[in-house]
Amino acid sequence: MKKNITPKNGPLKDSDGHSVSELLAALTTSQYQHLARFARWRLHAVSSSRRLRQCLAVVDPEDLVNEALVKVLLGDDNPALGRHLKRSHLASLDKFLVAVKGMISSDLSNLISGARGRSEHLALGDPDEIPGTVDLAIPEDLHQSLLRRDLHKVLFAELYERIRHQPALLGVVQSWERRFFDDDRIGSLGQNPALIHRVRRLVREILVELESEFSSVPGDGREMLL
């Protein structure tokens, strides 16, 4: 159910600061719709895989906006109940809207992390003989899964060895390893693009060196570097 914050028409002049209630009261219908369009765009941009699109299909952009506004309102009285904004975010309505957009992006990131965490990777095998395993009916799928599993083992063993003295890259590598079997992107939302680029270069080097051991077939892992 949506928690509706009714937008009002009321221009607000810049000053040294406003209360959250004043800023919410001054929020126009046009500005509210702008926040909803922003939430809709972010929701579309982060749905990079079919599974994520299915998990996020029930999320309404306006729900994201209303949740952010409710958190701001509650957090103004009690930070434990919501989000308490800095004084700089209350200086003007424009700065307030920037802060709300940041919260929308943050809440969406949390939803994505939860969706990915709900995905369970089952081992391959005969479920009748080995409970907890899954038997892939299509041989091509089995081949690709085994290939990716082998690539995961060899690639990350070498990758962790190469970043042993580059601790700044550890977060990017660990995040990618957790998503390796269902997401082709090395980087994830909120990570430093420069660090992602460095990891991508290291992976390219490793794959070139492994060329003699792994045949160049579709799905060998290199498509995620393009």
DSSP line for 124-152: ES-TTTSTTEE--SSHHHHHHHHHHHHHH
Q: CA-CA distance, 65 to 85, in Å (whole number)?
A: 16
DSSP state of 123: E
The answer to whether the CB of 42 falls within 8 A of the CB of 35 is no
Mean pLDDT, consecutive 10-residue stretches, the chain (226 aa), reads 49 64 90 91 73 74 88 82 85 91 86 63 57 50 60 85 90 84 72 88 82 53 48
Q: CA-CA distance, 198 to 144, in Å (whole number)?
A: 27
Question: Cα 86 to chain center, whole Å?
Answer: 25
What's the half-sphere exposure (Cβ side, CA atoms, 13 Å) at 112? 22
In this structure, what token pair is assigned to residue 55? 């998990």
Model pTM score: 0.47
Res 154: pLDDT: 83
Q: CA-CA distance, 95 to 89, in Å (whole number)?
A: 5
Res 139: pLDDT: 42
Q: CA-CA distance, 18 to 152, in Å (whole number)?
A: 53
The answer to whether the CB of 69 falls within 8 A of the CB of 5 is yes
